[in-house]
Structure 1
Amino acid sequence: MKIKILITTLFFTPLTGCNKQSNPPKNTAITAQLEQSDKKIDKYLNKLYCPNTTQDTRIQILCRDYPVEYKTKYIPALLKSSPDKYTEAKLLANLEATLNYYKNNFKIKCSN
């Protein structure tokens, strides 16, 4: 379990750690949206590893909730706050890699 947490931490540090260390965006509405979305994503990831989380809940998170939150709220806010640091293509690639990791880890296949 410690290895899974370490891998998760190392995997997500470039996504969230760098964002929090950069200069805060000038637009407080964008900052608030980014922080709120980041908290929601963290909540999803924490729930995935909770031993009491059912497989159906993990499917809901990985196939619906997490990707929707990331694509509709996190990416737009991050691009507005740091347009020179990130591209939509790079963020979508990170999302895909993250989802694939968790789907493989929890043996989940989304029906799309």
Structure 2
Amino acid sequence: METISFLCLITFGIFGCYEPEQPDPEREQLLLEYKELDSKFMWYQAQLVGPATENELRKQIICSDFPTAYEQEYKPLMIKLEGTHETDHSKDLMNAFDSYKSKYNIQCN
């Protein structure tokens, strides 16, 4: 019985003083930037599938706006958040925009 009481006392002493990790302010800022960028990409996608969207706007998004945002904002942000490896999410994102290019028969110069 003394052994069990002693083990409980030691266990509570070690784990009872555990303080949860404080969120890293830099990571919190990166996650906020990610949410803003995700909103931008969602707006792009909404414009691409919108029935009233003109093909010139679709071409601008697919050939200019999205690739620029992807290369200059998304990739550096993902490297900071997840390291240098390419994620499945980024592959899915590229495939989605490539499918819009095919669907609307858009040729980028």
Q: Under a length normalisation based on structure 2, what TM-score does the superposition of the two structures give? A: 0.66
Question: Which 4+ stretches in 1 moved above 2 angstroms?
Answer: 88-100
Q: Per-residue deviation at 1:106? A: 0.6
Query: Which amino acid letter does the alignment assign opposite residue 38 of structure 2?
Result: D
CA distance in 1, matches of 2:72, 2:66: 10
Please state if 1:77 is matched with 2:77.
Answer: yes
CA distance in 2, matches of 1:74, 1:96: 11
Three-state SS of the structure 2 residue aligned to 1:39 is helix
CA distance in 2, matches of 1:35, 1:49: 21
Aligned positions, number: 85
Instruction: Spell out, residue by residue over 1:6-44, the C-alpha distance to the aligned partner (whole angstroms, 9 max, x if none).
Output: xxxxxxxxxxxxxxxxxxx83222112111111100100
The residue number in structure 1 matching 2:47 is 47
CA distance in 1, matches of 2:31, 2:94: 24
Task: For structure 2, list consecutive stretches of 5 or more residues without a partner in the other structure.
Answer: 1-22
Task: For structure 1, list consecutive stretches of 5 or more residues without a partner in the other structure.
Answer: 1-24
Q: Under a length normalisation based on structure 1, what TM-score does the superposition of the two structures give? A: 0.64
Decide whether the 8 Å contact of 1:62 with 1:99 is kept in 2. yes
Decide whether the 8 Å contact of 1:62 with 1:103 is kept in 2. yes
CA distance in 2, matches of 1:68, 1:47: 17
The residue number in structure 2 matching 1:17 is none
**Range with bigger deviation, 94-103 or 47-56:** 94-103
The residue number in structure 1 matching 2:98 is 100
Using the aligned pairs only, state the percent identity: 27
CA RMSD of aligned residues (A): 2.4
CA distance in 1, matches of 2:39, 2:97: 18
